[in-house]
Amino acid sequence: MSTPKLRILIADDHALVRIGLRASIEMEPDFSVVAEAGNGEQTLAQYRKHLPDVALIDLRMPGMDGIQTTTALCREFPQARVIVISTFKGGDDILRAMQAGAKTYLPKSVQREELIKAIRAIARGESYLPNAVASRLAERLRRPDLTTRELEVLRLVAAGNSNKDIAAALSIEVGTVKLHVGKVLEKLHARDRTEAATMAIQAGLVWLE
């Protein structure tokens, strides 16, 4: 009797990405892509229908994003084995994915060999975290947490807004903005606004379209 194939679900809002992942995955004779989804709602529906061994879920999807989808999926199916995959490599994204219930996090630039290795490990119930991802996660865990307001200010700073613009956007005084910016620079150990913005982008706190 032949060994049952590993059944995989791919969730990504870009059809070309799904096609590429399917082609890479199904080169393995014991792998089978049993379902595809283009958003969070479809992902949940397809998971319920097919109950795959592993689900590959994109971080950025319209409507329910990858984090919300993973959270909902793991709440409904506690034994779900989810791999979040994304073009974003920031520590905050990685941490949020793992907190949502993902078993690992892979960049979309991952080599095929490592993708296959990760899927096999997660399917077996083992831990798997690429060195680069583990390093980013460790950096994030060492970084002091920013308050919600400080994050709002940082995102507006990274978008190129002046203190006056930020004050107007958040309906607060310019002096208050200055205090928040100073606190952000202190917590991030950044020398200036430009360095803080760069760190925010690299950490996944800010996404540039």
Checking if the pLDDT of 42 tops 80, the result is yes
pLDDT higher than threshold 70 for residue 204: no
> For the chain, what is the mean pLDDT?
90
Domains and CATH numbers, the chain: 6-141 (3.40.50.2300), 148-202 (1.10.10.10)
pLDDT at position 173: 95
pLDDT value, residue 147 = 87
Region of 208 please: left (phi>0), alpha (psi -120 to 50) or beta.
beta
Distance of alpha carbon 174 from alpha carbon 166, whole angstroms: 8
Mean pLDDT of 37-61: 96
Confidence of residue 2 (pLDDT cuts 50, 70, 90): low
- Bridge partners, 21 (sequence order): none
Q: What is the dihedral angle through the alpha carbons of 80, 87, 184, 164, rounded to the nearest 10 degrees?
A: -120
Cα angle value 167/171/173 (rounded, 5°): 50
Q: Which span out of 1-5, 68-72, 188-192 was modeled with the highest average pLDDT? A: 68-72
**Half-sphere exposure of residue 189: CA atoms within 13 angstroms, side-chain side:** 3
The pLDDT assigned to 90 comes to 78
Q: How many CA atoms lie within 13 A of 151 on its CB side?
A: 11
Distance of alpha carbon 180 from alpha carbon 191, whole angstroms: 15
pTM for the whole structure = 0.71
Distance CA 109, CA 92 (A): 18
Cβ proximity of 166 and 177 under 8 Å: yes
Task: Name the CA dihedral angle for 38, 40, 46, 48, rounded to a multiple of 10 degrees.
Answer: 180
Q: What pLDDT score was predicted for residue 1?
A: 56
Return the percentage of the chain with pLDDT > 90, whole number: 64
